[in-house]
A = this chain, B = another copy of it.
Amino acid sequence: MTSHIEARGAWLENTWYVAARSDELGDAPLGRTICGHKMVFFRGGEGKVAALEDFCPHRGAPLSLGFLKDGGLTCGYHGLSLDCRGKPQGMSGQDVSRLPGAKAYPCVERHGFIWVWPGDASRADEARLPRLHWAEDRGWAYGGGLYHIRCDYRLMIDNLMDLTHETYVHATSIGQKEIDETPVETVLEGGEVITRRFMRDVRAPPFWRAALAGAGLPEDAQIDRWQICRFSLPSHVMIEVGVALAGHGGYEAEHAKKASSIVVDFITPETETSHWYFWGMARNFAASDATLTETIRAGQGKIFSEDLAMLEQQQDNLTRNPGRRLVTLNIDAGGAQSRAMIERALKAEATT
């Protein structure tokens, strides 16, 4: 089957995206472009997060060069101060009551992330924020990071919904030949695209040997290994990954016999050919071991950086060859169905 891969633009607007990690937003504003909108993020009164367009209504200066004051954001050029809704709240020697304001975007902090709704503010609904059980459970630990990648966000979804590439791109850490020798199954379930692969009675590659050791299990043991990738709108991919001592039930094995975690991927469009990639890992073993969290974070950061050159040059190739037909194999079904789910949602958004 050959088809065209869309590699420029088109994302949902009326939905929540991760704009930043909570720890990125301290006592200074943060400028960041989300879905083509140049925004400034900051903490207003009581630390509550807010997002405005990064454009001062006075003279067009970037608000992200300003500073926090009186629960609002003051422009660093001439001192116009705006509140969290973008409404002028003061300027030395001026009556600001008739000045225009800056556009505000719905913005919420939850689960350690800052979420923004780039579309129609009147439709923003916090109930539609995803529920991340691991972020609310003390039995879990999370570590992660952020990469800026110059490719369409859907190329990253393709990447994460087909882990065959681990064998090639990540050969020295999480790749192993059994991955692309083991067939995947892709299904649509509960509003998610799920693509899964189970390997039985294999040896663990280096990353998982370290994880076994971290979980107090023998790193040389034969293991069962699984990868369950879950795509959900607008562009989140959660991957259940793990290894269990062989013959104890694999994914269903009891807690003491396995090391497992969730690869957490929030993929936020920046422009038509770039995105913000919030990557991380949540685990429910040795959750209080901060050193292990950092070790895993550093290892994962290194592994994920191996994809950057490939993805950016793939984007470049697709940009140079618009409309060229490519191949969709069974291993590509996860990405293809995720793209189809986005397509359907885009059509629905266009008609409402």
Contacts and interface: CB of A to CB of B under 8 A. Distances in A.
Nearest to A320: B38
A57 B326 contact: yes
Nearest to A162: B78
Contacts of A76: 168-169, 310
A165 B78 contact: yes
A168 B326 contact: no
Nearest to A7: B60
Nearest to A164: B78
Interface string A315-341: 011101100101101111000000000
21 contacts: A54-B317, A58-B329, A59-B326, A59-B327, A60-B318, A60-B324, A60-B326, A61-B313, A62-B317, A74-B168, A76-B310, A77-B168, A77-B310, A79-B167, A79-B168, A92-B164, A92-B167, A92-B181, A93-B180, A93-B331, A99-B327
Contacts of A255: none
A158 interface: yes
B5 A59 contact: yes
Contacts of A326: 57-60
Number of copies of this protein chain within its complex: 3
A215 interface: no
A313 B62 contact: yes
Interface of A: 2, 5, 38, 54-55, 57-62, 65, 74-79, 92-94, 99-100, 158, 162, 164-165, 167-169, 177, 180-183, 309-310, 313-314, 316-318, 320-321, 324, 326-327, 329-332
A101 B181 CA distance: 22
Contacts of A329: 58, 94
B168 A60 contact: no
Contacts of A54: 317
A344 B164 CA distance: 52
Contacts of A62: 310, 313-314, 316-317
Most chain B CB within 10 A, of A5, A55, A182, A316, is at: A55
A38 to B, nearest CB: 7
A74 B177 CA distance: 14
B2 A75 contact: no
Contacts of A332: 59
Given A99-B327, A309-B65, A313-B65, A5 B168 contact: no
Contacts of A158: 59
B100 A327 contact: yes
Q: Nearest 7 A-B pairs (CB), nearest first?
A: A92-B180, A62-B313, A60-B317, A61-B314, A60-B318, A58-B327, A55-B317
A55 B58 CA distance: 43
- Which of A59, A65, A93, A314 gathers the greatest number of chain B CB atoms within 10 Å? A59
Contacts of A317: 38, 54-55, 60-62
Given A60-B321, A60-B324, A78-B164, 5 more contacts: A59-B158, A59-B314, A60-B317, A60-B326, A62-B314
A271 to B, nearest CB: 12
Contacts of A75: 168
